[in-house]
Structure 1
Amino acid sequence: MDIKNFAACFIDLLGQKNTLLGQGLVPEVTDLASYQKFESSVGNSVGHIKNLHDNFELLSKQYRRSTEISNFYTKEQSDAVEKANCVIQRWSDGMVLYTSVDNDHRKLSISAVHEIFMYAGIFCFLGLAQKQPLRGGMEISWGWERNGCEIYGAVVANAYKEEQKAKLGRISVGSICVAYLLDLLQSSPMDLYQDANRRCAKSCLEMLYQENDNFYIDYLGAEFYKKFFSQNKDFWGEQYQLALGFTKEQILQHKASKCLELESRYEKVLEYFELRTANFV
């Protein structure tokens, strides 16, 4: 059994269990009213899951072609980056993105951690823009990979704990992950590969914001915008307005229904969006 260190991020689409609870067999097509209701339910559940997975495939291609990312590495480093992809483990109403964190610095495994930061942040942003909020949690710990696409161990438990902490519209990053990145940042690089890992760790840390003792991916922040949104400003500006509008709608809806917990969570998201408005105007 090969036990290694891994970085893993849980991505969880919210509200899916309530949407699916109590449903039964596929209705007959001849029962038009029932079938239309069924189709609507499928779109609000399976449709959102499919959309999340499709976004992953699209973003993975865009990440590799990004000028900002390709200019970040030399030709030799880029060859190592190509092999340091993160793995996706699909499950129920979400996914787990993970990668081994290798002691061999020439494998540039921190580039895959950087990639997970990107996916998680954009998923969180697009989820709000598409009226399908999610949350996530990321951590680095020991784990065991089975069949090349399934991850178990402390990293799963710790990432799941961070995901619960995120509440809504955020990706929480654990203290072990932050400490690991800080250690890399403070190291003295001995070659180009160690230097690439250090610069990658620096970029990851610049994509975080701190709230009390907790860290979250700053997916609307300046570093994130520079790396991933600056090449298509109009599109991401539109997504910002859609996400902002949805958040305000949810606050009014939960205020009217006196659901104080969800009202408070969306108000926290709104506060974050308003703090980052300057990056999208």
Structure 2
Amino acid sequence: MLDTNKYFWTGVVFLLPISAMMLTFLVVPSMQTIALSLTSWTGIGRITYVGLENYRIIMDDASFLRALKRTLFMGFSIALLTNLFGLTLALALDRAFRTQKALRALFFIPKLIPIVVAAFIWKYMLDANNGMINKVLSELLGRDVKLLLIDTPGNVVWTVIGIAVWQIVGPVMLVYLAALQTVPHELKEAGLIDGANAWQRFRSIVLPLIAPGITINVLIGLANGLKLFDLPFALTGGGPANASETLAIRIYSNAFQSSELGYGMAGAFVLTGVVLVITFVFVFLSKKYEGTVHG
């Protein structure tokens, strides 16, 4: 007969380390953030309780709201483009040919480069005056070429989105490859026999069966896009003219550069709430779709 008491305490022992880490690095900081968001603390000195005043100010802060809108736009764009390119690459590489493994590794390499290092490399290549890309194009075309990809407000957001997609498309592609390999070959052959073309087979057979992979990859894209900080901060510092300033950069600026720690914590809590709401809504819709497909 099994000693349930022994197994219970064994489970407790195994759960204690991760529980302690979650409590120390997630639960306690989250509670501290909520508490500090209700104050006007500058980081030093006396802590003054102001209630929901910081949140009221946020609703009237034009720069904060612009950063929020920009972050949502970048987050959804990164999620959409990453999945489009990742799925396209996965479909192209889900075949038996000689360079298949080499190409998979090649597309995954950008993820292995630390994002700050990658940002500085891209900054060097995209510089309007001395950037490698402009120099190469000038030599090839025989005239002076000056692409302002990170130096103008109209282009910098799309440049940041493009670099973010370049960095995470590899892992997304691998998830799709794994999902595609679970699709029974017999179903594809049955669709072919029934006269379905390639798009019809993909839409009716492949797409529903890789729905869990789509859910994972969209969440990867949203997570990377909505919390975007290090890439635009290292690439442009949020400029030019705050055009690439994300909500995370705005929170950092308020909390640590302007010494408005309480206000910055309120902004951090707003960002967390936005991410949680979007995540829960998307997961709910995804599960509903998967239930419809497999039901």
Q: Give TM-score, length-normalised by structure 1.
A: 0.24
Q: Which protein is bigger by CA-based radius of gyration?
A: 2
Higher helix share: 2
Higher relative contact order (CA 8 A, sep 6+): 2
Q: Give TM-score, length-normalised by structure 2.
A: 0.23
Higher strand share: 1
